[in-house]
Amino acid sequence: MSKRRIVVALGGNAILSKDASAEAQQNALRETAKSLVKFIKNGDELIVSHGNGPQVGNLLLQQAAGSTETNPAMPIDTAVAMTQGSIGYWLQNALDEVITAAGLDVSVATVVTQVEVSPDDQAFSDPSKPIGPFYSEEEAKVQSATHPDFKFVEDAGRGYRRVVPSPKPIDVHEALVVEKLVKSGVVPISVGGGGVPVVREGNRLVGREAVIDKDFASEKLAEQVRADLLIILTAVDHVFVNFNTPNQKALEDVTINELKKYVDENQFAKGSMLPKVQAAIDFVENSDNGRAVITSLDNIANFLENGDGTVISKVPASTLI
């Protein structure tokens, strides 16, 4: 098999579950790294991205609780950069450990990444990106009373979460840096948490209060570095239609036209699977021969061995050589 350039998008919820301590998140990332190193052993060029929804939400709550006139809370864009750094450090450290144990000569580098968005994006007036912990309805009411500037919504049947603006990425500012690193044999960790949201004002990039969806940012990065595969990791091995019903069906090899039909049928939950599906469609549409894969971290070995997972392409898999 020829060398492939692969962007693997890791969800923030895969890093943090119930235990928000640094130790628990570092332990989770050590297990994650054991799966990611399989791509390096396979001879692939690996680029890793990650979410930060739980982490940045928790950080913003901590800052709000301790904010004073002389030590004010930082804006959301800066909090995104802070969690890019902390999660990147943990993941870089974990990958270094498993790479060394595997006897591989590969370096890892975290790139604090700015992602340009449009200042006119309607997302700024319609917050929709869930961040932070899940709350019951009563807990969300308490949080709303404590933080009247925060907006809370029900998130895909899993509880209530704070939502913030989530503009669409139009350019990954450090994409060229990432491409140079991967060409040099380095594993870059990039667009962490969707990247720091910035808008262009002349020669300046200016931060905005938002959190970009990491799947869309990962798609844009994969597009700009000319990746062969965009792999979006989630909690399940496959995307399903009629999910959680007696006639649910796992999607294996599927075209973007078939996926668009399922999107029109509202088959995918807005707060969870829908952005992953939309990002996969965008990448396949905007690349020459690229494919997208949606699967779980635990299923990586099966994907590498026999292509197991939801594989999205422009044309039916049976026509591909």
Give me the catalytic one of 88, 214, 271, 290: 214
> Is 261 a catalytic site residue?
no
> Is 13 a catalytic site residue?
yes
Residue 187: closest CA among 197, 175, 196, 178: 178
> Is 214 a catalytic site residue?
yes
Give me the catalytic one of 11, 276, 290, 309: 276
> Is 129 a catalytic site residue?
yes
Give me the catalytic one of 13, 27, 93, 299: 13
Quick one: the chain helix, strand, coil %, rounded to 5?
A: 45, 25, 35
Rounded Cα gap, residues 137 and 58, in angstroms = 18
Could you tell me the maximum CA-CA distance found in the chain, to the nearest angstrom?
Answer: 64
| 229-234/5-10 β-pairing | parallel
Rounded Cα gap, residues 157 and 160, in angstroms = 8
Compute CA distances 292 → 14, 106, 201, 203, 282, whole Å: 19, 25, 34, 34, 9
Give me the catalytic one of 11, 53, 57, 129: 129
Compute CA distances 242 → 50, 251, 311, whole Å: 28, 11, 18
Active site residues: 12-13, 129, 214, 276
